[in-house]
Chain A
Amino acid sequence: MKRFISVLIVSLFISSPAWGKEWTLDTNHSLVQFGIKHIFSTVSGSFSDFEGRIFFDPENLGKSSFDFTVQVKSIDTGNTKRDNHLRSKDFFEAATWPTMTFKSAKITRGQGNTYVATGTMTLKKTAKTMAIPFVYHGTAPSPFNKKQVVTGFDTEFDLDRLDFGVGNGKFHKMGVVGRGVRVKISIEALDTP
């Protein structure tokens, strides 16, 4: 029995490396969106297939972390031909690099309810350290199930697609597609029972 309990405790440590409060991403109410300039207008799009592990406790940031994976092929800009072009070697090369990831290494507190997640953004073959500011909305009991607690996060940040090799700059030089991408991520997560 003692042996069983010790194995159980060890497994719990292994399965939750950050060992903070784990939240389950509610993908039905979370969004990964982006906007990019096309000559004058801003083309918006989103990725519908993504997953993430969220460990967040504002009182214990040392044991908090974010680990997100987005499936590139799920890109949707409302135009099927453009989406397939974005999946092609001209941009994401989705067949070769099917995912983009962000894995936080450190979370620090800013002012009020703002925080900064510093970690590694990996897109195609490029991995870069990025500091992503985000807003923590706190927690609230779910209006649908009072026993369940909901939390929420929002972030907006810019990244340079050419830094990650998303395109070779040809369309940017032509003045057609911008290089700066505005990324908006809105997250709702539920407490893990």
Chain B
Amino acid sequence: MNKNGPKNRGHGFAMVILTLVSAGLLSGVLLPFFFESQSLYYKFGMEKAMLQWGKAAGFMAVTLMVVQVVLVSRFSFLVTSFSLARLLSLHKYTGVLICLLVMVHPFLILGADGFVFFPLELRYWSEFTGVFLAFSILIVAGLSLWRRALKFPVRSWLRLHRLATPAIVVLALVHARTVSETFDHVLPGIWLGIIAIIALVLFARIYFKRFSGN
């Protein structure tokens, strides 16, 4: 009983984290349906569904980016419960899922307006941040998946991955907050705030551990 205690506690923690991640993902998907932005008032039928699911895909991608940070944080209870290899494998597949969502997101959002693209003006900075983000995510993920085939040196890839991913998560949070009126509502605003705090704390923990040599 005593011998298995810490392992059981580890499983318990892992279950709590999994439940929180699932709740985070589910709430991300549901946000555009329960907290409509004004842009949805002017859409009907298929166009409304495209805009809602486009937003949901974006929110889900942002949530999964934070989940990615959890997966590489090497929490002992997660490593004990799932093993590091499984966590890193899950990190890889979650990355692929994020890429799919990142491709679907603009397709649905722009499709709802008949693929009218924004003019190249400063006031559309938030939308263009999204375009920059999408390309950055696809490049970082593509480099990770096909690093060997591309003969990209492992140390350079790791350095790039570690530098680019925190910037991507921060930009994704900024993009979500500034582009979507959904976060003007109190509850979605709190949801995004929590996600942002979790991401920043986890990144700080990772960098602190790396530089302190722990």
Contacts and interface: CB of A to CB of B under 8 A. Distances in A.
Interface of B is mostly: helix
B213 to A, nearest CB: 47
Given A85-B39, A90-B42, A95 B123 contact: no
A73 B114 contact: no
Interface residues on A, range: 10 to 19
Contacts, number: 32
Interface of B: 38-39, 42, 113-116, 118-119, 123-124, 126-127, 181
A84 B118 contact: yes
A84 B113 CA distance: 8
A179 interface: no
A13 interface: no
A80 B42 CA distance: 14
Interface in A60-95: 73-74, 76, 80-81, 84-85, 87-90, 93-95
12 contacts: A80-B118, A80-B123, A80-B124, A80-B126, A84-B116, A88-B113, A88-B116, A89-B114, A90-B114, A93-B114, A95-B114, A176-B42
Given A80-B124, A80-B127, A90-B42, A73 B119 contact: yes
Counting chain A CB atoms within 10 Å of each CB, the highest count among B114, B126, B127 belongs to B114
Contact of B116 (A74, A94, A171, A176): A94
Contacts of B114: 88-90, 93, 95
A160 B210 CA distance: 66
Contacts of B118: 80, 84
A171 B124 contact: no
A74 B65 CA distance: 35
Given A81-B39, A171-B42, A87 B123 contact: no
Interface in A153-179: 171, 176
A116 to B, nearest CB: 34
Given A74-B119, A80-B118, A90-B42, 17 more contacts: A73-B119, A80-B123, A81-B38, A81-B39, A84-B116, A85-B113, A87-B113, A88-B113, A88-B114, A88-B116, A89-B114, A90-B114, A93-B114, A94-B116, A95-B114, A95-B115, A95-B116
Contacts of B127: 80
Contacts of A89: 114
Contacts of A90: 42, 114
A8 to B, nearest CB: 41
Contacts of A80: 118, 123-124, 126-127
Interface string A44-59: 0000000000000000
B118 to A, nearest CB: 6
Nearest to A96: B114
